[in-house]
Structure 1
Amino acid sequence: MIDHFGINCADLDAAKTFYDTVLGTLGYTRQMDVGVAVGYGGDGKPEFWISRFEDMGPNREVHVAFSAPDPATVRAFHEAAVRLGAESLHAPRMWPEYHAHYYGAFVRDPDGNNVEAVCHTAVEGTDPSL
């Protein structure tokens, strides 16, 4: 159900030091570092993310990504959320900066959290809408 989740940090450098150390004791390491966000996990799959964004207030949003079996399900998730009045943060699309088969959509839930549906097996060109 949960693919990955992330929290926002007031001081990303301090958070990196903290999570490098404490998650290291559990056998987890940095799997990806994209500057403003760092993903931790094992076996090449980041499942827990920390990030820092400018102008983030004291009640920082949470990011939760739900697994979807295919791109059509990601699109259905996005359409349903928008139909309910959710703000679309990112319409469904390929995200090659994450990895070659990453297809996701992001919306803001009623409490302001960043909620995503993601498929990790999309292949650009095999689905006419990709």
Structure 2
Amino acid sequence: MLDHLALQCTDVGAAADFYTRVLASCGVRELMRYEAPGGGAVVGLCGPDSFPRLWLGSAVDTGVRPVHLAVAAPSREAVDGVFAAAEDAGTEILHEPRIWPEYHPGYYAVFFRDPDGNNLEAVHHTFPG
């Protein structure tokens, strides 16, 4: 359903470094970078499908509107890898990795903040069957 998401960042370079470092175990990497017509970098991040689904650009509207972004992880180990990288980055951990049975029995996720205060999640779904 979701094609792409764009986030406004106070420091695009730092945000791109954070996302690619912390979400590396989910296959997130920088695909493209260019200068916007009005100035400032725009960075397109992709996952294993090599399609730029997460865009980072300069903050235009600095009102307080945190976003919740959930990134699919290929395994529980990848979620744990995101957690370790987020801890290494010194970011705020909202919830350590665990199963969230209130969502469904195989919902395994970690929640943390990005440098701009957005609520990020890495999640792996295991369905019985």
Q: What is the TM-score when the length of structure 1 is the normalising length?
A: 0.49
